[in-house]
Amino acid sequence: MIGYEIFNKTLKNMELYPVFGNPGTTEIPMLEDIESDNYILTLHDSISVGMADGRAQLTRKPSMVNLHSILGIGNSMAFIYSAYVHKIPMIITAGEQDNRHIFYDPLLSGNINDMISKYTKYSFEIRSANDIERAVRRAYISSITPPFSLSFLGFPMDTLEENAEFRNLTRPEVNSDIVDDRAVREICNEINNSGNPAMILGYEADLYGGIWHAKEFSRKLGIPVFAEPFASRGPYDSSDPYYAGDLPPVAERINKSLSAYDLIIMVGGDINLYPYSHSDLLSGRRIIKIGLDISGKIGDSYFMNPATFLRESLKYLHERKGEKIPVRPEVNKNSQIQRVMLKIHENFPGYTIADESISASPFLRQIVGYNQDSYFIGKSGQIGWALPAAAGMATVNPKVLCVIGDGAFMYTSQTLWTIRNYNLPVKLIILDNHGYGILRKFQEVNYENTGKYLTFSIELKKVVDSFGIDVRKNDENMRDIEWLRSHDGPAALIIRVDKPYGYNLFKK
Amino acid sequence: MIGYEIFNKTLKNMELYPVFGNPGTTEIPMLEDIESDNYILTLHDSISVGMADGRAQLTRKPSMVNLHSILGIGNSMAFIYSAYVHKIPMIITAGEQDNRHIFYDPLLSGNINDMISKYTKYSFEIRSANDIERAVRRAYISSITPPFSLSFLGFPMDTLEENAEFRNLTRPEVNSDIVDDRAVREICNEINNSGNPAMILGYEADLYGGIWHAKEFSRKLGIPVFAEPFASRGPYDSSDPYYAGDLPPVAERINKSLSAYDLIIMVGGDINLYPYSHSDLLSGRRIIKIGLDISGKIGDSYFMNPATFLRESLKYLHERKGEKIPVRPEVNKNSQIQRVMLKIHENFPGYTIADESISASPFLRQIVGYNQDSYFIGKSGQIGWALPAAAGMATVNPKVLCVIGDGAFMYTSQTLWTIRNYNLPVKLIILDNHGYGILRKFQEVNYENTGKYLTFSIELKKVVDSFGIDVRKNDENMRDIEWLRSHDGPAALIIRVDKPYGYNLFKK
Amino acid sequence: MIGYEIFNKTLKNMELYPVFGNPGTTEIPMLEDIESDNYILTLHDSISVGMADGRAQLTRKPSMVNLHSILGIGNSMAFIYSAYVHKIPMIITAGEQDNRHIFYDPLLSGNINDMISKYTKYSFEIRSANDIERAVRRAYISSITPPFSLSFLGFPMDTLEENAEFRNLTRPEVNSDIVDDRAVREICNEINNSGNPAMILGYEADLYGGIWHAKEFSRKLGIPVFAEPFASRGPYDSSDPYYAGDLPPVAERINKSLSAYDLIIMVGGDINLYPYSHSDLLSGRRIIKIGLDISGKIGDSYFMNPATFLRESLKYLHERKGEKIPVRPEVNKNSQIQRVMLKIHENFPGYTIADESISASPFLRQIVGYNQDSYFIGKSGQIGWALPAAAGMATVNPKVLCVIGDGAFMYTSQTLWTIRNYNLPVKLIILDNHGYGILRKFQEVNYENTGKYLTFSIELKKVVDSFGIDVRKNDENMRDIEWLRSHDGPAALIIRVDKPYGYNLFKK
Amino acid sequence: MIGYEIFNKTLKNMELYPVFGNPGTTEIPMLEDIESDNYILTLHDSISVGMADGRAQLTRKPSMVNLHSILGIGNSMAFIYSAYVHKIPMIITAGEQDNRHIFYDPLLSGNINDMISKYTKYSFEIRSANDIERAVRRAYISSITPPFSLSFLGFPMDTLEENAEFRNLTRPEVNSDIVDDRAVREICNEINNSGNPAMILGYEADLYGGIWHAKEFSRKLGIPVFAEPFASRGPYDSSDPYYAGDLPPVAERINKSLSAYDLIIMVGGDINLYPYSHSDLLSGRRIIKIGLDISGKIGDSYFMNPATFLRESLKYLHERKGEKIPVRPEVNKNSQIQRVMLKIHENFPGYTIADESISASPFLRQIVGYNQDSYFIGKSGQIGWALPAAAGMATVNPKVLCVIGDGAFMYTSQTLWTIRNYNLPVKLIILDNHGYGILRKFQEVNYENTGKYLTFSIELKKVVDSFGIDVRKNDENMRDIEWLRSHDGPAALIIRVDKPYGYNLFKK
């Protein structure tokens, strides 16, 4: 069988379709046998990776990306880095120049492994058509072995024209439901004997399907549940009575939020910081971390599936009277941004949100809230992530909302073409604050020199419209929000948010 | 003096303004003292690098880029790789998280050196404010020491808030005008004794200012001058009678083009290939390479400034009767694409062209031609390069034309915002062939499966217009070409090119 | 508290003593507070890593290495790579130049992360004394989180002179006893329904303490147990009736060894190959891999602790009649090398063996055999590993035997100084076959040109004696073997093995 | 022609013999055709690189190393790093596993490029036999293109068994004699107008053959000539009246040494520091650097061959009255170490010295002195460098003396086997101060804790003797020094140096 036939058949066996990609000549051989229905074209390489990221977040299975040589990899490095930070399964492929003249460093050659391999668990360059099937399968296994990760495969053009045997290998699975019973008992014993415990949940709680167990867990103990600072996905049900809000990513404020608790059980997450504060983080506090993504930054660590831990611990935990759950802030209806978020909350129930409202994100998480598979943000801090991610999510979920700032939207506005072309049902709300709001805020708090070259204005409606997406522009009253939700197919609503609001993350 | 003051003053001393950038919070400290007039904002990090590339190509001095942490670097890796391939001087900087809590891997941390250092000659992370001035100066020297190259400097946020002494160091220069007289004589002697020599000129001929000398050289010998295949910049005067055209980047066809010559003098360039062909490249041929960028792929190499070599060799070369110069093809007026190129040729004399017409590039180079500082193309094969590069060139040159395909245009269409915002006088011609023409061609020649997912259509006029750029749409007669040229400020013309044309690069 | 005091106290709290090291000026600050009793000096940097490897193999806890700047790291890279292949826990530290003049690239500066970070899970450069305690603890956690791995910490000299708070953090533990009950049942069900299963055990079976469970497992099923090809440590009890020998690291021969079985359960190991053979490896065979070190090369994979799997599966497996266990070869008493191995077997019961007899290794494993914690070999293929490893093992185990070839011995003969200086009770048997036997064999089988520059002779007795180690030289009758075993302290016996023997690994 | 035949014939054409190596199975195919006379076997991989370094220092041509897979590379990384620091030409090769089963990560596979490519200018993995000849030639060209550098080539075993055409390519040369006449005049003009100039010469002055010109230069100007701190090779004639001694590698002391001069011309060297001192380095001083190895650390830089610069500048310099040359210190005959150095000076005229006497090196350079090709030291700070380097030098120079400390000697004592086996005429003086003298000194100056685990004693005479090298042991009177020099073939003299001496590099 010819190499490119093997490639196509292997992708089918592995259920790796669709391929997200943006091809060049080096990829033409790889794609020869791939049907149009199995390929989603993007207009910039990085958008392919962003879409694959969004899709993998929801499917928990490897998504497949095909990039154009070292250039496509290069264009996508921030997205690749973000997927690496998100610890999701993904297989990245690229075509490479023909080995028979690679000595001459032809156009489009360049060592991809050098650029990408720090961010992949498995990286391999196909040597002959005989490798294709096994290597794709191995990349698959590697990416789903916990903790999930990225794989890279390079395909020199000539290898796809060679003949080899097709083995018809089956799609692999790797279990992740691993638990240590002795450890669970040990931890539960400590909880049972503690005075004042609290829980922090992180992204793994949702990634491994543990929110339901977490609710049982907190109910049994009656303890507050905080979300880890800057979780890549909503790690809990924010409507739950035990939900105590998101921890802010600032050492000083984390210390304050958790000052009342003598035992902190951190399940599937970690302490993530953003602006520097002088405080020593949780000094002297007893912290237990349970999960598959162990950093060792703080406290003691137990390596197991966090969802399984939550489930199994219910056997050993004693019910207790319960702690006072910290009161979460009311919506401030005098705040423009909070009113906007309230509208979103009321109009998009059951939607999965890809968030890049940046300086407004804390309000979105607070007011719109989240639950299983319902809230996602680029954890690396990357800008331009949410729109491609939303598009990728929309390949498996018909109810996807992207809430994004104007600055962020402009990074990857080309995603709209793919959304339009494949009729992906993304609803888009662009919060237009005329520039990079979070930077202005940071500048304002720390320096005198406010707003310098961070303010700009773009005719967003024309930009969106130019891609053939139905779009309206509203003031904060968002009278077209119902139109947006019920619109058939993708649509966008631009909201002018011109009132400054009190995002005080940087307040010293 | 505070770190950020030192940074600003150093940039002034080094004449490194403007800074091309797209900032995030990690860069706010760096920018604190930089005046708006000295900063050019782009809406995507990679566009900053592309603009800096374009500018450095014309100024031959380091241009200055400020990217946003590892994410901004990641977004720009293809452009960084391209600048690395172009061997131009550039200083890339990025802000980094505060060292005082870097242990916690805060948001926006991430080892930049790991990602970029394969492509820089000098890479350094500032340790304290005391390093800032010397490190910028060192990065400058490193980047202009031949062959030109990239430098990277990382600035942890805290280092910019520290105090240090400002030394008021002067802007450095590094000479590149180096020659080996004995070698020049040796080479000239060989030329003088040869039967049938030809010359290949490459990008260095123009980068180091040697076109005028090259013309004297060829005139004295009466020999044909070929351009290296896929030169990053026009290496000769294409109107010169000795100009023999561009070599095609295919081994078999290079062999054919050069079959008549017994001595090939390759000055400031190299043999660059693109599609594979089975032929052994220039087997048994006598080849002499002179330049600062020595690859050693083929022939014998002499390390010296190629422009200086050309100048000095005039002393030693004997005048000779001269060879028959290969006849270059006439413009085929039956060809739509060639008629378009002819119009461009007639209407944009004296313009610097940034080319990304891709499958039409050979016609552009053939018909529009080039001379000193007048033609540029992304040599890495990167797509989306030409528009930012044109914008960067327009910061120093009022006559810049960008000729680009629709697919290529869409990679970095956000550049138009910067062009508009800073009123950069770029004239833009978009050749709209509804998709990725070169890929369709490649597919057509090598496979049966033509055009699969490589064809699309975009309302380019609306896209351009959405950025506030004046734009018109013409058929191949380009009746608005005069409007385009004489338009005050940036403007765009979209040309529908729907006739297939015989770009036969891939013809086996 | 001063940085170096924090460093010492942290090492004490983490029970990371002894430090294996070879210092230079950059390490003097780190070592300032470390007592002589807690430091083991080696005469070459790499020997420190080898000793740490050996020690970690037995303790299953991180061992601590202190190397001299980038040079010490560089000298040790093969040993570091080997420890990485062995997947053992280790913390590697190095001193680095003073940050205050690092800009000048002083002597002994150089980016260590660039060299080592591909082989470590965690790599961090201390930024200030405040990081020291937390970073050492994090490196510890990272290294013992399954699968075990290496960590690197760099200590700029100045950071050790700064003051910071000492938090008195406790030694961390990370559990590895993780299991997936549903997966265990699924696997057991498949075994119960299979016709003809066989088991392959790998290094993890011993590393995670599973040999006893493996014996129960095989007894219950009555199935043969093969050792993975080239296991880094004896993965089973070779005296067990179900033991079927080591698989050879050749595809063709693995296929033959396993041809009778329809289900292959691979626990804690993998298929490791050495010489190439044309056969397709285990084509079409049903293979299940269970372990923490999942490569995905072949078959289906289950991620859990292999020892725990073996223990838990006993609940679900049905007893079965049992298969015929392959008959293992008798000792051939006409073979010189086999007689030698028999003597070793008879005289060193209960010893832990570090093996680098190379071409004789298959006989050693076959005749001397292994059990829990009793046999180790450098799995990377590194030469010079066994002697330092044995020395490291002897810091925790009084009964260590190193069996090594003359060529291998000479790589790291300086280890003898450390053995002597710290009176480490290593017994050393050097098999003297006058050169690189395995290479001669490989040459002989594949080429005509036998033995070319691979034969040499060294006065090994003088070499050993020069380090103050008691040494005797015997012929194959090894009359001093009893002397060797009962000798008080380290001692060596050199055995001349001059008869060629049938190591037919390379036989085509 | 078969791949290994091509390899051998190419090495012959390129005059790359002898190959320094230490093979494993992966190298057996490469070596199949290489005659014993063309191969120098070492007993540790790193020694091959050290020998190649020494040889290249003298020949100024690439030397050829063949290492064993990633393990041999790993064992040699410190030596490779040193050769990289020395900027000498070298081609490093290694065998790699057979591509046909590389998918299975067989024993001895492992990505070498990942480990080595930061330190090579050119790194390539052979794809087929057709690449072999051209790639070796390219590696050669790359390594000798100024500034000299390392190349790496990987040879998968299967590629050496394939057939390909042998092109019989000739040995390349690349000129380095490049100069910029305008720059020379500019510099000379500045010198002519300066008040009080001084010169610093660095390693490039000797590497590119400029000592003679440097003497003319200093004579004409009558200015003092300092050696750069820690030059890798003696950069001047230390018997010259203008020689002002070596600069110490400490900022504060460099400032002091150069305080009298208003213009510092630094030719072919740089400012190298070792211990940190608080002083700002040469603040406000006018410094001009000329050479091919431009760091940009300090001053202004001119890129050209330093030897050519010295030669050409003689045309433009005005003779001047001359400065007072700093008086160099007398030999202190009360100092044991200085008396030892005096003996060496008197007995080894005309010898090339490889120095690793470490704490005694300043005295060696002061008293024994140097001239063209006569003094070498490991500039990276690596220990164990001098003995292999001396052995490599002795393959082209019959008069080589290695002066080494006992600690340093023990790192690579196995070199003695190669010296003996190939009868390389190295004379070896081991200065036995019972341990790591320089570390004790550093500890003594900076800390109270003197000598802790840095003192040891080894029976060096037995160690040397065990390799079959004639050896004697003397007290400081060195009565056998004449025996050493006149001994036929290699020989060693061990000198007990037990008197502490005033090496005050670290004195604050």
Which residue of D10, D97, D102, D103 is the best one to mutate when testing the A interface, meaning the one whose CB has the most A CBs within 10 A?
A: D103
D466 touches chain C (CB under 8 A): yes
Q: Is D15 on the interface with B (CB under 8 A)?
A: no
What's the Cα-to-Cα distance from B426 to each of A376, B354, B418, C43, rounded to whole Å? Answer: 39, 10, 11, 66
| D383 pLDDT more than 80 | yes
pLDDT at position C109 is 95
Q: What is the CA radius of gyration of chain A?
A: 24
pLDDT at C438: 82
DSSP state of D56: H
Cα–Cα distance for residue pair B351/B365, rounded to 1 Å: 13
**Predicted confidence band at D449 (pLDDT cuts at 50, 70, 90)?**
low
pLDDT at D450: 60
Record: contact D381-C417, CB cut-off 8 A: no
pLDDT, position C485: 97
Residues in chain C, pLDDT under 70: 449-451, 502-508
**How many angstroms away from the CA of C127 is the closest CA of chain B?**
7
Using one digit for the tens of pLDDT, what is the confidence trace for B445-500? 787 766 677 888 899 999 999 999 999 999 999 999 999 999 999 999 999 998 77
pLDDT, averaged across chain A = 95
Residue C324 has a pLDDT of: 84
Nearest to C302 among A175, A294, A301 (CB): A175
Give residue for tokens 């042991």.
Answer: D473
Partner C contacted by D508 (CB < 8 A): no
C115, closest residue in chain B (CA to CA): B114
Which residues from B are below 8 Å from D134, CB to CB? 297-298
Is A272–B106 a contact, with Cβ atoms under 8 angstroms apart? yes
Instruction: Provide the shortest C-alpha distance from residue B462 to chain A (in Å).
Output: 5
The shortest CB-CB distance from A297 to any of C138, C179, C301 is to C138
Q: Is C473 exposed, middle or buried (0-12, 13-18, 19+ CB in 10 A)?
A: middle
* Phi–psi pair at C372, nearest 5 degrees: -55, 130
CA of C130: which chain B residue's CA is closest?
Answer: B100
Is the Cβ of B107 closer than 8 Å to some Cβ of chain A? yes
Nearest CA among A320, A297, A314, A307 for reference residue A187: A314
DSSP string, C228-294: PTT-SB--S-TTSTTEEEEPPS-HHHHHHHTTT-SEEEEES------S--SSPTTTT-EEEEEESS-
**Pairwise CB contact (< 8 Å): D128 & A99:** yes
Cβ of B71 within 8 Å of Cβ of A380? The answer is yes
Q: Beta-carbon neighbour count of residue A176 at 10 Å?
A: 24
Among the residues of D60-104, which ranges form H helices?
69-75, 77-86
Q: Do B71 and A78 touch (CB under 8 A)?
A: yes
Q: What is the mean pLDDT of residues D177-181?
A: 97
Q: Which among D25, D158, D230 has the least Cβ separation from residue C438?
A: D25
A458 has a chain C CB within 8 A of its CB: no
Is ipTM beyond 0.85?
Answer: yes
Q: How far is D296 from chain A (nearest CA, A)?
A: 27
The beta-carbon neighbor of D297 closest among B138, B146, B294 is B138
- List chains touching D (3+ CB pairs under 8 A): A, B, C
Chains with 3 or more CB pairs closer than 8 angstroms to A? Answer: B, C, D
Backbone angles phi, psi at C227, to 5 degrees: -90, 145
List of chain D residues whose C-beta atoms are within 8 Å of the C-beta of residue A114: 113-114, 117
Mutation choice for C interface testing from D112, D466, D467, D503 by most C CBs within 10 A: D466
Mutation for testing the D interface, residue in B87, B123, B128, B294 having most D CBs under 10 Å: B294
Order of all β-strands in the sheet with A90-96: A39-41, A19-21, A63-67, A90-96, A150-156, A122-125
pLDDT, position B460: 96
Residue to test with chain B: of A7, A356, A449, most B Cβ within 10 A:
A449
Which parts of chain B sit beneath pLDDT 70?
A: 449-451, 502-508
CA C453 to each of CA C411, C445, C449, C457, D242: distance values in angstroms, whole numbers, following the listed order: 17, 16, 10, 11, 50
How many helices (H) and strands (E) would you count in chain D? 20, 18
Query: Which residues of chain C does B138 touch, with a Cβ-Cβ cutoff of 8 Å?
Result: 103
A395 Cβ under 8 Å from any chain B Cβ: no
Task: Give the per-residue pLDDT at C77.
Answer: 98
Could you give phi then psi for residue B230, rounded to 5 degrees?
55, 50
CB contacts under 8 A, C 400-419 vs A, are: none
Shortest alpha-carbon distance between residue C76 and chain D (Å): 6
- Under the banding of pLDDT at 50, 70 and 90, the label for residue A364 is very high
The answer to whether A346 touches A202, Cβ cutoff 8 Å, is no
* Neighbouring-strand partners of residue A438: none
Rounded mean pLDDT of chain D?
Answer: 95
Residue D500 has pLDDT above 80, yes or no: no
What CA–CA distance (Å, rounded) separates A291 from C59? 25
Residue from A87, A273, A459 to probe the interface with B (highest B Cβ count within 10 Å): A273
Question: Hey, what amino acid is at A87?
Answer: K
Q: What local confidence, expressed as pLDDT, does residue D502 receive?
A: 60
Distance from CA of B443 to the nearest CA of A (A): 7
Question: Using the beta-carbon criterion (under 8 Å), do B458 and A417 form an inter-chain contact?
Answer: yes
**CA-wise closest residue to C165 among C136, C125, C127, C131:** C131
Stated length of chain D = 508
**Interface contact D383-C103, CB threshold 8 A:** no
C-alpha distance from C57 to closest chain A C-alpha (Å): 21
Are the CB atoms for B93 and B65 separated by under 8 Å? Answer: yes
Rounded CA gap, D394 and D415, in Å? Answer: 12
Closest CA to D192 of D88, D317, D70, D305: D317
Q: Cα–Cα distance between A405 and A431 in angstroms, integer? A: 5
Strands A122-125 and A150-156: parallel
pLDDT at C212: 97
Which of B178, B181, B188 is most worth mutating to test chain D (most D CB atoms within 10 A of its CB)? Answer: B178
Q: Does D111 touch chain A (CB under 8 A)?
A: yes
For residue D327, what pLDDT is reported? Answer: 87
If pLDDT is split at 50, 70 and 90, which confidence band does A507 have? low
pLDDT in tens, C103-153: 999 999 999 999 999 999 999 999 999 999 999 999 999 999 999 999 999
Chain D residues within an 8 Å CB radius of C379: 107
How many beta-carbon pairs under 8 angstroms link C with D?
243
Contact call for residues B325 and B244 (beta carbons, < 8 A): yes
- Give Cα separations from C170 to A48, A284, B387, C10, C138 (angstroms): 45, 11, 57, 9, 11
Closest CA to A220 of A308, A316, A288: A316
Q: Using one digit for the tens of pLDDT, what is the confidence trace for D107-143?
A: 999 999 999 999 999 999 999 999 999 999 999 999 9
Q: Which chains touch C (3 or more CB pairs under 8 A)?
A: A, B, D
List the single residue in B with minimal CA-CA distance to D140: B296
Q: State pLDDT tens for residues D347-363.
A: 999 999 999 998 899 99
Q: Which two tokens stand for residue B322?
A: 């001269």
Residue C10 and residue C169 in contact, taking contact as beta carbons nearer than 8 Å: yes
Q: Which residues contact D255 (CB under 8 A, 6 or more apart)?
A: D279, D281, D282, D283
